[in-house]
Chains A and B, each alone.
Chain A
Amino acid sequence: MSNSIIQVQNVSKSYWRDSLEVPVLNDISIDVHEGEFLGLMGPSGSGKTTLLNLIAGIDRPSRGNVIVGGIDITKLNESNLAKWRSRHIGFVFQFYNLLPVLTAFENVELPLLLTSLSKAERKKHVELSLDVVGLGDRIHHYPKQLSGGQEQRVAIARAIVTDPTLLVADEPTGDLDKRSAEEIMILLERLNTEFKKTIVMVTHDPRAAEKAKVVHHLDKGELS
């Protein structure tokens, strides 16, 4: 029956501060199905980002396994994990995290530099992605020449340009005004329905969470 694309199995995570163990996630298990749009909600400090980072393979659990697309990513070494991320994960951050010295085009092209695509093919993919997010006319702008909403769309174009298995978004509307936030959510929803992207999104904006098909709540490191 498992059409689960993500299986988080009994995952615990704690950080060490000085010599003190700080538990952040406590025995979490989640299944995410292919094509799902999952919302993760919860108060600040409840471990949402930490859980998302474990799923995205930029952090490792203290205990438990994370299986994405049939691969237990907790077993991959650092180099293979990096390669895996570049192929399977698209990142959307709260503060967009665009490189300020690169244009919209160049920012979106970055993940493609890790593939074997030719320059011409990269150009095609980048332009396509920027068209999807509605910024086809801003490709040579630098991030500081764009509004927050536009920057987030460039970031989303960067996240989808490699056609990843999974999009992870950490508070994607957290730094935007109401209207831009609305537009970004419509865009994410469209990526889910129209392009069949599996999305895991952390948010504490209830209006954003509305767009998600499934919402989990996290509190003090436990699902509720």
Chain B
Amino acid sequence: MKIPLKYTIRNFKSRKLTTIITVAGIAMVVFVFAAVLMMAYGIQKTMIATGCTDNVLIARKSAYGEVSSIVVRDDYNTILTLPHIAKAEDGKPLVSGETVIVIGLERRSGGLSNVTARGVARTVFTLRPQVKIVEGRAFQQGAREVIAGASIRKNFIGAELGNTVSFGGDTWTIVGYFEAGGSGFDSEFWVDNDQLQDAFNRQGGFSTVTFKLDDPNSFSAFKAAFENEPRLQQFEPKIEQKFFQEQSESLSTFINILGIFITVIFSFGATIGAMITMYAAVANRIVEVGTLRALGFKRRSVLSAFLMESIAISLFGGLIGLLLASLLQFFSLSMLNFSSFAELQFSFALSPSIVLSSLFFSLFMGIAGGFLPAVRAARLKIVDALRAG
């Protein structure tokens, strides 16, 4: 039979200060834990939003990100001969050969930062319908003009309409802003690809080639044709969304590992705090334990009563930590993405699995902190416990 739960709850209410300190310790650890996971997940989510599921991105197999990939003109033309590439109304293929370079720009918060400048084809707005001009206009062909993503506008000095930015030995006028639904494109400048290649003397080729599939299900058919083409063996086609998701993996894995490493260390502190609290709780209630046992309550009822007490405290702390962490969703951050060598702006994002992991983590701290004290309480001999008064 169980020792009533109200016994547990009133007991930690009766020692407010130690309970609050323990709860706060666990809340802090869970906050950091959840924040880290939310950060990594936010990066992933941003990168997943970057790609479309019916676009295919072709890059060099050995390339580490878009910047280090090269697709020369001949290969580009070979790609265009393959089947399953969607056509625009004018009959031209919906394809964008793109050149990606990284430029340095001054942040509003101080310091220089890397930003991606992407040369795109005119078809790009049909290819990526999530990208919309929200102010100003698109760049004109034949002009040194750029449009800036939403995060660039927010974070960098001089990113105002009509201002110029310098790169590739030339100055470029900002003629419009675009929004890309919180995706990685929001952290980029887009320019006419011919202009970019001209400025950087890279007329020889693109970084990557992206096109729309004629049917969302035709990727495997396209891939088969692609792999049968001997001239394209050093390239690899991927669904665009998958490509960008993979671009986020090294950064989000790094954050996860670092963050979990830090929180595991913190959690030792919080667990030991919970343990000290519970040892004190047991020491103060030895006679109560003896009395309960004399009345006929079993050792395991005593064990579970103290364990429940520790778990209740830690779950409560965990919930508070999680609640505070969930407020982070209203904040965004920017960070250097190792894969693109450029700044990526993203928001903290919460997922059901992060909620679950955080609660499990606090449950674990409660069990780890409460177990030994609870065992000590359960192992007391009745007569010794009763004499402890």
Contacts and interface: CB of A to CB of B under 8 A. Distances in A.
Interface of A: 53, 56, 58-59, 78-79, 82-83, 85-87, 89, 91, 93, 95, 97, 99-102, 106, 110-111, 113-114, 158
A113 B2 CA distance: 8
> Which of A99, A100, A106: most chain B CB closer than 10 A?
A99
A212 B2 CA distance: 36
Given A95-B389, A97-B291, A114 B10 contact: no
Nearest to A86: B296
Contact of A110 (B10, B295, B298): B295
A101 B2 CA distance: 16
B70 to A, nearest CB: 73
Interface in B292-331: 292-299
A79 B288 CA distance: 19
A82 B298 contact: yes
Interface of B: 1-4, 6-7, 10-11, 13-14, 287-288, 290-299, 382-383, 386, 389
A53 B383 contact: yes
B287 A111 contact: no
A82 B297 contact: yes
A99 B7 contact: yes
Contacts of B14: 100-101
Given A82-B293, A93-B291, A114-B1, A102 B10 contact: yes
B382 A59 contact: yes
Contact of B10 (A82, A89, A101, A158): A101
Nearest to B14: A101
> Which of B290, B296, B298, B382: most chain A CB closer than 10 A?
B296
Contacts of B382: 53, 58-59
Nearest to B385: A58
A87 B294 CA distance: 11
A93 B386 contact: yes
B296 A91 contact: no
A134 B4 CA distance: 26
> 6 tightest A-B contacts by CB?
A86-B296, A101-B10, A97-B291, A58-B382, A114-B1, A59-B383
